[in-house]
Structure 1
Amino acid sequence: MKSLDEQVLVITGATSGIGLSTARMAARKGARLVLAARDSAALDRLVEELRAGGAEALAVPTDVGRHDEVAALGRAAVGRFGRIDSWINNAGISIFGRNADVPLEDQQQLFQTNFWGVVHGSLVALQLMKDGGGAIINLGSELSDRAVPLQGMYSASKHAVKGYTDALRMEIEKDALPLSVTLIKPAGIDTMFIPHARNYMPHEPELPAPLYAPEVVADAILYAAEHPQRDIFVGGASKLVSLEARTMPGLLDRFMNLIMFS
């Protein structure tokens, strides 16, 4: 694993929240960046900001739910910098509401971004990095191990990301490829997560405390880019939720029903 100042990083969902913090932190550490998001204007502003600070960065507008656009992202990265050392599948969206109240079209769109975006990115990264090596880093959640009410499809997508990441890791290990595969599992993070989510409840949702800064997740992501890791919990609450989900799932159901709806 190269040090960050020798790496080329691809980051999806780079214009807000965890992706934005990761891009800025990686730029300060000297990495060369290929940044993807759907908002081309926001991408251009971010690249201008990073270049003004002396970083090398390339903006590639991308809808991660479309495999052809993710493949084009990979080609653009290799075309500009000659290789990719770490690929970070970070893009994600959420929906708040009871499963029966959320239109199927919205649920399918969420899965297209949160799950298929990870699949598309992982497959493109595998194809482009299998000879040179590096890290594939997927953003899961504390909800990769435990579902919560009112974010049913988001929870399902993060469960699916975990299952896919674990299966991909085994296949890479079986083929003895020089790739590290890491799942990042943050707790609640203080970002624009709620304003960017679609809400089918009568009131604006609120994430339960504790909330952690996105820079804490960015630090974990960049650590995984330099050090092979299987899973990284970000925030003590994430590790606690995972432990409770394994040891007392029924009790946790009742506790969440008591507090999460309010």
Structure 2
Amino acid sequence: MKTLKKIGSQVIVLTGATSGVGLITARKAAALGARLVLVARGEDALHKLAEELREHGTEVITVAADVGKHEDVAAVAQAAIDRFGGFDTWINNAGVTIFGRHDDVPLEDHRRLFETNYWGVVHGSLAAVAHLRQNGGAIINMGSESCDCPLPLQSAYVASQHAIKGFTDTLRLELEQEKAPVSVTLIKAAGMDTPIVTHAKNFLHVEPRQASPLYDPS
């Protein structure tokens, strides 16, 4: 395994960069001196964050992309290579949830969640491996504690988290077998105080809330 660079010497690709864990991660990585490729769907939020970080001297580019689309993610990797000559760490952080009983959530919404949560991780991981296999580095996939357990009223989300775990664990084993210089990490976060609930679709008759305790991601 190739030794990973210090964060201050890295180029980091970060999806879901404009809110929650992604926003905190972007600010902390910038404070440590990393160069950043920030990815989200909303251009305005990306540009606002980029300007904030540039005021403190961070080198940053933004790419508006839907991680559920393979071609969008491929464009992210190419943008990082064009600007910085490559990247050292790729963080698949973009994610959404849906609240509702299993038979109340429309299949279209269930599938769209998988496009972001599961396929976003797959697209990002494959793009990262294609570059890191030769150059070395790290892939970090953001999961949750529901990778390993059920979570009533969020069946689509939980299913996507189980899929993320299965894909990530298998990817790690395959890269270890070929002795590729790539670290693969799955973070199984507990409940955190982020906007994921306010951004979620809700098919319940009440406003959803995350169960306590909620951790401050900062």
Q: Same fold (TM over 0.5)?
A: yes
**Residue in structure 1 matching 2:211, options 203, 208, 211:** 208
Report SS of the residue matched to 1:73.
Answer: helix
Question: Of residues 13, 18, 35 in structure 1, which corresponds to 2:16?
Answer: 13
- Whole-Å separation in 2 of the counterparts to 1:44 and 1:74: 19
Q: What TM-score results when the alignment is normalised by the length of structure 1?
A: 0.82
- Aligned to 1:23, the other structure's residue is in SS state helix
Deviation at 1:47, TM superposition (A): 0.3
Output one character per residue of 1:13-49: Cα deviation in whole Å (capped at 9) or x when no partner.
0000000000000000000000000001100000000
Partner Cα separation in structure 1 for residue 119 and residue 10 of structure 2: 26
Identity of aligned residues (%): 57
After the TM superposition, which segments of 4 or more aligned residues of structure 1 sit over 4 Å from their partners? none
| Corresponding residue to 2:187 among 184, 187, 194 | 184
Paired residue type of 2:103: A
Select the residue among 168, 171, 176 that pairs with 2:171: 168
Residue 101 of structure 1 is matched in structure 2 by 104
Q: Find the counterpart in structure 2 of residue 159 from structure 1.
A: 162
The answer for unaligned runs of 5 or more in structure 2 is none
Q: How big is the shift at 1:152?
A: 0.4
Structure having the higher Rg = 1
Tell me the TM-score normalised to structure 2 length. 0.98
Pick aligned residue for 1:42 from 29, 42, 45: 45
The Cα offsets for residues 175-198 of structure 1, whole Å up to 9 and x where unpaired, read as 100000000011000010110000
Gaps of 5+ in 1: 216-262
What do the CA deviations read for 1:215-258 (whole angstroms, capped 9, x no partner)? 2xxxxxxxxxxxxxxxxxxxxxxxxxxxxxxxxxxxxxxxxxxx
Match of 1:121, SS state, is helix
Q: Which protein is richer in helix relative to its size?
A: 1
The secondary structure found in structure 1 opposite 2:188 is: strand
2: CA distance, partners of 1:84 / 1:184: 20
- Residue 62 of structure 2 is matched in structure 1 by 59
Q: Which amino acid aligns with 1:76?
A: A
**Residue deviations 1:39-78, cap 9 Å, x none?**
0110000000000011111000010000000000000001
1:121 corresponds to? 124
The aligned counterpart of 1:80 is: 83
How far apart are 1:83 and its partner, in Å? 1.3
Q: How many residues align?
A: 215
Which of 137, 149, 153 pairs up with 1:150? 153
* Structure 2 counterpart of 1:114, one-letter code: N
Deviation at 1:153, TM superposition (A): 0.6
